[in-house]
Amino acid sequence: DTGVSQNPRHKITKRGQNVTFRCDPISEHNRLYWYRQTLGQGPEFLTYFQNEAQLEKSRLLSDRFSAERPKGSFSTLEIQRTEQGDSAMYLCASSLVGTDNSPLHFGNGTRLTVT
């Protein structure tokens, strides 16, 4: 169990550029979640997948955001035309559905800074 892995750890980009983050969940986990955490706040849910299907998207996820999990393993989160308000820590988590109250295991996050 190598845990949830996220890359890159840090990303600095200029406003208007596109960025893509990657998340590799724990290998046997079938659910994958994306959260966003801004300074001084708790993580806010963005979206989640069960296997390759994206089952829910938060209203926080504007049209500039898109997430994929093409083979039900790793996932990518892309932000197009970044804005300064997108600056945050983006957290990925995974869990195994089917086990009661399976806790979410979080990665260390990708910190995005939009200048």
Q: Does 95 help bind another protein (rule: CB under 8 A)?
A: yes
Which pair of tokens denotes residue 14?
């200029």
Site string for another protein, 75-94 (x = CB under 8 A): ----------------x-x-
User: Which among 14-22, 61-69, 73-81, 104-112 is the span making contact with another protein, rule CB under 8 A?
Assistant: 104-112
Q: Does 25 help bind another protein (rule: CB under 8 A)?
A: no
Closest by CA to 37, choosing from 110, 105, 99, 96, is: 110
